[in-house]
Homo-oligomer: A and B are copies of this chain.
Amino acid sequence: MPLSTADRSVVEPVIRRLSALRPLSSEARALLEYALLEGLQRAGSGEDLIAEGDPVDAVRVLLSGWLGRYKMLEDGRRQIVNFIFPGESCDAHAYLLSEMDHSIVALTPAVYAEIKRARFESLLANNPTLSEAFWCETLLSSAIQREWAINLGRRVALERVAHLFCEILERLRPVGMVDGNSCLMPVTQMDLADATGLSVVHLNRTLQELRAAGLVVLRERTLTIPDLDALKNAALYSPSYLRLYRTTEAVR
């Protein structure tokens, strides 16, 4: 459903994120901003933005809320393979392939911009730097994807959840959604379980354990990390896969 009232500031996270990857000219920013505002959409919690098997005809860029990229097995088992946070785009170049290999769901109410493929391509054609920024985003999300593989395959429950929390904090920070070491945690334990490859019950147990160890405070949909280094330690967290953000930012 299109959005009637369009406050220009809704696109800010996108501009922030992309210009951290590549220095965007003010012209590029303006054109991008315009393209985004043109296609504003809302999704209710639980709604699929696009589903496995769908053809891809547009690029979606998230402005607010959390999305989940997920795949399902026939029997209903679900794995969230990545989160999508404000400022990130869903499938910047997915239209190069023939159809979606996974689905994207709104884990919270969400606002996003939909840019039609042709519109997007002409936008990039005139802005090589913008184009490169979008490609970097895609590569970054692959790097995150790889980190999730080792998280799922080799870390034990406590490490997995701790690692996920570290990552969320680090990914939310550059778009200004972290206050100190606190952020909103608007998703259900079921969602967290599906992201960490655990059962809801075991996720809950692990959460208790993290709380008991004083590593996380989680209440009223707010996550607070009293001692981030301690949590990173417990998570066997190595920032190299996200350092890619900052290094390129420094190059700016």
Contact = CB atoms under 8 A, between A and B. Distances in A.
Quickly give the copy total for this chain.
2
Contacts of A112: none
Interface in A85-112: 93-94, 96-99, 101-102
A78 B150 CA distance: 8
A153 B154 CA distance: 10
A141 B143 CA distance: 11
A154 B97 contact: no
A140 B138 CA distance: 12
A153 B247 CA distance: 31
Contact of A143 (B75, B101, B243): B101
A66 interface: no
A238 interface: yes
A69 to B, nearest CB: 7
Which of A136, A140, A152 lies at the interface centre, i.e. has the most chain B CB atoms within 10 A of its CB?
Answer: A152
B150 A148 contact: no
A16 B148 CA distance: 31
Interface of A: 52-53, 69, 71, 73-75, 77-79, 81-82, 93-94, 96-99, 101-102, 132, 135-136, 138-143, 145-150, 152-155, 196-197, 236, 238, 240-241, 243-244, 247-248, 251
